[in-house]
Amino acid sequence: MESASGGAGPSDPNTEEGPSVTGSALLQTQQSQVHQPEASSPAPLSRYESQKRRDWNTFLQYLKNHKPPLTLARCSGAHVIEFLKYLDQFGKTKVHVTGCPYFGHPNPPAPCACPLKQAWGSLDALIGRLRAAYEENGGRPESNPFGARAVRIYLREVKEGQSKARGVPYEKKKRKRPTVTAASVSVTPNQAVKVGGGSGGVDGGAAVDGGSATIATAAITTSTSV
């Protein structure tokens, strides 16, 4: 007599019935590692960002070498002006003194013994970069020493002094405002006009029914007469 438990018994773990769950997961992990794209390298810094980082590190080194040493928290506008004057020794711009025969001469015919200094434009751009770097490194805008009033006054004096000494006027370039051309289209009631896209116009076409429509560079105004 057959036993009542004569059903299919538990499968033998030693029998080969395909890959096990562990083996399958391991295979998928290996495949994903093979096909996983490499992490993209960070984008290189722009020329402005690289220069800003170098300027910031230079200023921090200046504070460290200052006697007595200064911390960034104690730095004021007066210390920033000292830093700008310190940089004059590395300048390459000839600034004539008052007694020089070439004072106010834009193109002196011969060399002179007047000192070389940092050009006003270079100092102005430097302060702009340091002002941004200060806030990017956790500084508060209201306590930014590079935006102090004393620094702005000093830069203005350097600008005016170098302009007279070198005979080079520093004038702001006036921005040319773009001329806006407007076209008016009169539309009689119950008449449709299709406006086609042009350079600076309306793209894709637009149907305007009734009233009058004025087409400008940036807007379309439609009014309907009753």
Which comes out higher in pLDDT, residue 100 or 6?
A: 100
pLDDT for the residue numbered 124: 97
Which comes out higher in pLDDT, residue 193 or 96?
A: 96
CA triplet 52, 56, 59: central angle to 5 degrees?
140
Handedness of CA 55, 57, 93, 155 (dihedral sign): positive
Q: Is residue 127's pLDDT more than 90?
A: yes
Spell 190-200 as b/e; 16+ CB within 10 A means b: eeeeebeeeee
Q: Is residue 143's pLDDT more than 50?
A: yes
Rounded CA separation 154/174 (Å): 24
- Residue 67 region, left (φ>0) first, then alpha (ψ -120 to 50), else beta? beta
pLDDT for the residue numbered 21: 44
Read off the pLDDT of each residue in 154-179 and give the average, rounded to a whole number.
80
Q: Is residue 196's pLDDT more than 70?
A: no
Reported as a single tens digit per residue, the pLDDT across 10-47 is: 555 444 444 444 455 544 555 555 455 455 667 788 99
Specify the pTM.
0.58
> How would you class 112 by CB atoms within 10 Å of its CB: exposed for 0-12, middle for 13-18, buried for 19 or more?
middle
Read off the pLDDT of each residue in 78-99 and give the average, rounded to a whole number.
95
Under the banding of pLDDT at 50, 70 and 90, the label for residue 61 is: very high
Q: Which of 45, 46, 44, 48 is nearest to 129 (CA)?
A: 48
Which comes out higher in pLDDT, residue 142 or 19?
A: 142
Reported as a single tens digit per residue, the pLDDT across 197-224 is: 444 443 444 333 444 333 333 333 444 4
- 3-class DSSP assignment, residue 194: strand
DSSP assignment string, 103-163: TT-SS-SS---PPEE--HHHHHHHHHHHHHHHHHTT--GGG-GGG-HHHHHHHHHHHHHHH
pLDDT for the residue numbered 168: 78
Average pLDDT, the chain: 74
Read off the pLDDT of each residue in 79-91 and give the average, rounded to a whole number.
96
Q: How many residues does the chain have?
A: 226
Mean pLDDT is lowest, of 65-69, 81-85, 193-197, 219-223, for 219-223
Residue extents of the structural domains in the chain: 46-166
Q: Is residue 185's pLDDT more than 70?
A: no
